[in-house]
Structure 1
């Protein structure tokens, strides 16, 4: 698998079926208690990657996750503590790295979020609490592992200066989109389920930054918390 971002800054990637060992982990994900509801469940791990004959992964010491408020007005400026992944995400990391494609002469830092969003009569299936946004990374990847008994959940890509999408699509299980987060915003509509029933959407959310511009570590966290962090630090 080796494709290149198109002239609009995104690329669709066919991943195929995920193994049962990965799919079976999603029902066990712990609640993401930072969202203000019981609709999202999540684990997170962070990696340093470098290319030899293939992309090699180094699992980084587990730390809280944080984003600057300029990118996440709902949960930015917080140290969010998630449990680490219990599965091997190397296949999806390499797929994203090759789809960009990342510069193989550089080392990169990668965030890997494993998420389930549920929906039922009592729970709204909110995929993106912060609305149309950038994540504040260089490249992002949304990889859908499973969709069960749901409608909607459309992915929207839009310019930085408009809420009018230039791309609207529904990613199916085994499909992913990779995008240049510097040149666009993205959003996803809520998922829905039939009345009296429940459904869910399982995804991996990945973020890639060069190692010198990593969104990881004590210095990054301190700069985010005191409001001094800027892109390029």
Structure 2
């Protein structure tokens, strides 16, 4: 995905979609968070059901997260970075690097250089991903007047098994050290739990929801809020379950 051959699809093409994106931007800027339902997101991105199914298929090609395993959580993931240009809406892949979060964001991984497998070529070129990044850029524009955004993309699968907890956020309540953070539910299979909570700067709960329908998008101003997700457990304890989420963050360059 790049400025020359990336998807030309623009988020918020119709009048209804433009209004929906503007509402998301206003709510995130004014209260710190916003929950966009799947039907609204599909209209904003111009995504058909078959395209959501194709996106979901990328979660079958993730790699083990050794750092989460050290804390007892079975988690699969990949990681990639892009540069989003505000002026042209161009999305340019950036070189693969170690992942480091600021000291005041994630208490579990202070000064830890985590090395994750890169996004697959198919994921990087995914048209739905490009449309989502552009939509997030429009929302982030309500938080910062930036010409360029560093976009970090993290597809996660947290596995839940009988006798053990699947921890989407083993670090607990935290920040990502960015401007805008988003969580898009790609799928849930045989799990209960996974409640997403957003807290204000003083640690008071201001929103809580369980992302249960694929295509649900939770947005929050990472500078003004904290967030966490409760553990997931298998609904049928005789077989494992999993929760698939795409976490995408934007930080002004």
Q: Which residue of 1 aligns with 2:205?
A: 165
Q: Which residue of 2 aligns with 1:98?
A: 138
Q: Which residue of 1 aligns with 2:80?
A: 45
**Residue ranges of structure 1 left out of the alignment (5+ in a row):** 212-233
After TM superposition, the structure 1 stretch with the greater mean CA deviation from structure 2, 104-113 or 200-209, is 104-113
> Does residue 26 of the first structure (1) align with residue 59 of the second (2)?
yes
Q: 1:167 and 1:105, CA in 2 relative to 1: closer, same or farther beyond 3 A?
A: closer
Contact 1:5–1:179, Cα closer than 8 Å, also in 2: no
Alignment of 1:12-91 (within 5 A): 12-13=35-36, 14=38, 15-16=41-42, 17=49, 18-35=51-68, 36=70, 37-52=72-87, 55-86=89-120, 87=123, 88=126, 89-91=129-131
Q: 1:209 and 1:34, CA in 2 relative to 1: closer, same or farther beyond 3 A?
A: same
Q: What CA distance in whole angstroms lies between the structure 1 residues aligned with 2:146 and 2:162? A: 50
Q: What CA distance in whole angstroms lies between the structure 2 residues aligned with 1:20 and 1:187? A: 27
Q: What CA distance in whole angstroms lies between the structure 2 residues aligned with 1:29 and 1:109? A: 22
Q: Secondary structure at the match of 1:74?
A: helix
Q: Secondary structure at the match of 2:108?
A: coil
Q: Which residue of 2 aligns with 1:230?
A: none
Q: Which residue of 2 aligns with 1:143?
A: 184
Q: What CA distance in whole angstroms lies between the structure 1 residues aligned with 2:73 and 2:210? A: 23
Q: Secondary structure at the match of 2:54?
A: helix
Q: What CA distance in whole angstroms lies between the structure 1 residues aligned with 2:182 and 2:33? A: 9
Deviations 1:45-83 (A, max 9, x none): 001111345x21000011111113321121221111111
Q: 1:147 and 1:101, CA in 2 relative to 1: closer, same or farther beyond 3 A?
A: farther
Q: Which residue of 1 aligns with 2:244?
A: 202
Contact 2:140–2:250, Cα closer than 8 Å, also in 1: no
Q: Which residue of 1 aligns with 2:222?
A: 181
Q: What CA distance in whole angstroms lies between the structure 2 residues aligned with 1:105 and 1:130? A: 30
Contact 1:112–1:204, Cα closer than 8 Å, also in 2: yes
TM-score by length of 2: 0.76
Q: What CA distance in whole angstroms lies between the structure 2 residues aligned with 1:122 and 1:44? A: 29
After TM superposition, the structure 1 stretch with the greater mean CA deviation from structure 2, 196-205 or 68-77, is 68-77
By how many angstroms is 1:173 displaced? Answer: 1.2
By how many angstroms is 1:104 displaced? Answer: 7.1
TM-score by length of 1: 0.82
Q: What CA distance in whole angstroms lies between the structure 2 residues aligned with 1:32 and 1:140? A: 20
Aligned residues: 209
User: Greater share of helix residues, 1 or 2?
Assistant: 2
**Residue ranges of structure 2 left out of the alignment (5+ in a row):** 1-11, 13-20, 43-48
